[in-house]
Structures are given as structure tokens and as C-alpha cells.
Amino acid sequence: MNTMLFPKISLLLNILVLIPVCSGLLLKANWVVESYGIETSARSILLSIYLAILIFSAVLLFRFDPKMVIALLSVQIIYKFLSPIMVGTLTNPVIISNIFIAVFHSYSVWKIIISQKSAI
């Protein structure tokens, strides 16, 4: 099995999740207020971060660089696991999906690290 399969799936997962999320935020979809709250500067900043992750994921999917993928996914893992602590709930749909994605990304980072060690 290709050792970079899971990291590439993580990048694809980012893209598949962030396209509808960013579209919803940009178009002010009805579900956005329930999931992300009312429109504020903070929500716009979050959209900017999501767009950066989306763009970077697409670039890395086509120009794969294991170290850059580790950097991107690690930042996501940290913020996604910190989210329920900072928000104070596990019931928000964004928090729930963040935890599942962080677990998947953690496995992907582990796969990259293991493949790098075996290449030495």
C-alpha cells in the first residue's frame, strides 16, 4: 500500500469539507449561523483561515511535499483538538467534525513520520 495514501486522503478531505463550508460562509447560507454564529469579523477571519487551508491543501495534493503536509496537518490537529476546550462544548457540529478530522489527520501525520524513518 502506498504510504502517502492517507496523507493525500487528508488533503482531499480538507478540500471536500472546506469547499461547501467556505461556500456557505461566503453565501451566508442558513446553516452557517447555527454552526458558526452570527456574521462577525471573527467569522470572516475564520473564513480566511479556511480558505488558506483549502488553497494549501489543493497545492499540496498536486505538488506533494511530506514536510509541508506535516506542517499543515499538525496546525489543523492542534486547533481542532483545542476547539472543544475553547468553545466549552462537544455538541456543536463544527466541533464534532473537527475531532473526527483531527483523528484522521493524526493518523496521516503518523504515516508520513513512519515512512520518513524507514527511508533513513
2 phi and psi angles, rounded to 5 deg:
-65, 125
What's phi and psi for 90, nearest 5 deg?
-115, 5
With 0-12 CB in 10 A as exposed, 13-18 as middle and 19+ as buried, what is 10?
buried
| pLDDT tens for each residue of 68-120 | 999 999 999 999 999 999 999 999 999 999 999 999 999 999 999 999 887 66
Query: Would you say the C-alpha torsion 78, 17, 59, 109 has a positive or negative sign?
Result: positive
Query: What SS3 class is residue 119?
Result: coil
Measured distance CA(10)–CA(61) in Å, rounded: 9
Q: What is the pTM for the complete model shown?
A: 0.92
CA distance 15 to 58: 7
pLDDT the model gives residue 29: 93
Domain limits of the chain?
A: 5-118
Averaged pLDDT, 63-72: 97
Residue range 5-62, pLDDT digits in tens = 999 999 999 999 999 999 999 999 999 998 888 999 999 999 999 999 999 999 999 9
pLDDT at 1: 57
